[in-house]
Structure 1
Amino acid sequence: MTADKPLRADAQQKREALLAAAREVFDTGDFFDLRFDDFARLAGVGTGTLYRHFPTREALAEAVYHGEVAALCDRARQLQAALPAAEALATFLRTMVEHIAAHQGLARTLATLWADRSGALAEGSRALEEAVGDLVAAAVQEGTVRDDVDSGAVMVALHGIGAAHDRPGWRAEADDVITLVLDGLRRPQ
């Protein structure tokens, strides 16, 4: 499949069905328990369709990851358009925690698949950092957030939250970390 040529409507539907099936499998944590061909069966498509769109397990995982990143970046833009800047930033950071909680299987699978290919996630990480950077910059311009902390520090906190997802009581602790980050970003009165 080439990135330049748009897919026919039926081919796009089959591709989306494969991605949806893979997302479900990620969320259950069974990604490695299935034969790669099983994704075609779960999506209700033929194996030729699977291999045409995603020639490897890694290609399928990468497509799911990039879809999730795109959805999160879209969410950041929607929040920025609809809410005051500080509220948009806070809502997005809490959305990120919800996303991490809902998709822990995806994070574990990606970490396993790309343990030796850290560059494979770099593009998505840059896109998320840009989205967070836009939210932070808007809040700085609004005057509600300090101007001496950049989006990289916020991303480090988010990465730490994601890395600690196996801790007992993780969700409450993750929410507390977001509160600490937001309190730390708040511009002193």
Structure 2
Amino acid sequence: MRADARKRREHIITTTCELYRTHHHDSLTMDNIAEAAGVGIATLYRNFPDRFALDMACAHYLFTVVISWQEQAINTFPTNPARVWTSFNQTLFDKGLGSLVPALAPESLDELPEDISALRQTTEDNIATLIGLAKEQGLVHANITPGTYILGLITISRPPITALATISTNSHAPLLGLYLSGLKHGAMATSIGKHDEHP
């Protein structure tokens, strides 16, 4: 692939990721994406024959970026655990993980192409490593699993509901601090036994 064609393809992918971060996936058409990327619809389809191909290209790009962040965090963790842990989570939070993951996830993980599935496994392995390092430093409670951590981060990094944004300016940002603090204390049991019930 020529350098200019490769650059155009990469621009389409990064533009699409930004659109998915700020708009609901199903609200966007291929025409919307082509217009935002500044390319003709024929050029878009020449690079990505259908929406699934474009989504998987975005997923490949994002997994690769996240893996690079993970590896950097793992390698620098011993230098300043608290700072590295906070910075890593802040980066994922700021990049809109809560919007991008649902937008790019297929109905079943079995539908992921082999190369994307391998990247996903690498991110999971890296997260397990990071969670282990954070537990050793008292930054994450022993009962927090990698799955719980990921689901929690995805949930809090979703864009705030527009109507609620009027309650407080920048009301979404403090959620990360609350979440990281909660990780230190662990998951609290929510079921109430008979001996705990009130009449």
Q: TM-score, normalised by structure 1?
A: 0.67
Q: Which runs of 5+ in 2 are unaligned?
A: 165-170, 188-199
Q: CA RMSD in A?
A: 3.6
Check the 8 A contact 2:99/2:158 in 1, yes or no.
no
- 1:93 equivalent among 89, 96, 115: 89
Q: How does 1:45-60 map to 2 (within 5 A)?
A: 45-60=39-54
CA distance in structure 2 between the partners assigned to 1:75 and 1:172 by the alignment:
22
CA distance in 2, matches of 1:129, 1:110: 16
CA contact (8 A) 1:94 1:175 kept: no
CA distance in 2, matches of 1:173, 1:136: 19
Corresponding letter in the other structure for 1:181: L
Letter aligned with residue 87 of structure 2: T
Letter in 1 for 2:123: L
Asked whether 1:43 is paired with 2:31, we answer no
Whether the aligned pair in 1 keeps the contact of 2:34 and 2:41 (CA below 8 Å) is yes
Matched, 1:161 2:156: yes
- Is residue 2:26 matched to residue 1:24? no
How many correspondences in the alignment? 172
Measured after TM superposition, the shift of residue 161 of structure 1 is: 2.7
The percent of aligned pairs where both chains have the same amino acid is: 24
Show the counterpart of 1:78: 72
Report which of the two structures shows the higher radius of gyration computed on alpha carbons. 2
Residue type at the aligned position of 2:72:
Q
Structure 2 vs 1, CA of residues 26 and 82 (structure 1 numbering), >3 Å: closer, same or farther? same
Structure 1 position 173 matched with structure 2 position 179 = no
Name the residue aligned to 1:133.
Answer: 128
Checking the alignment, whether the CA contact within 8 Å between 2:21 and 2:99 is kept in structure 1 is yes
Q: Distance in 2 between matches of 1:171 and 1:48?
A: 40
Query: TM-score, length-normalised on structure 2?
Result: 0.64
Determine the C-alpha separation between the residues in 2 that align with 1:8 and 1:175: 45
